[in-house]
Amino acid sequence: MRPDDKAEIARRFMAVRRRAFLTQRWLAELIGLSRQAVSEIEHQQVMPHHTTWDRFAALEAKHKLARIELPVHWQ
């Protein structure tokens, strides 16, 4: 369920982007938005549509569960 607070949604969008080292453009492509729409959500100007929230929440859940494995030459 999508939070009703624009600030909470903005915080979560930015947190996922920071953890995953994504730009607004990359996040937008992953969840089917424009970069401008991600910017508007992060600046608390708009609420994401429930289908957008569902795609974002799925990405957020995958990122929280994912283990980052470094390439062999980094070890």
CATH topology of domain 6-74: 434 Repressor (Amino-terminal Domain) (1.10.260)
pLDDT the model gives residue 26: 94
pTM summary value: 0.80
**Overall average pLDDT of the 17-27 stretch:** 92
**Overall average pLDDT of the 4-25 stretch:** 93
Buried b / exposed e over 33-69, threshold 16 CB at 10 Å, is beeebbbbbbeeeebbeeebbeebbebbeeeeeeeee
Confidence category of residue 66, pLDDT binned at 50, 70, 90 = low
- Between CA 38 and CA 66 the distance in angstroms is 23
- Between CA 71 and CA 27 the distance in angstroms is 23
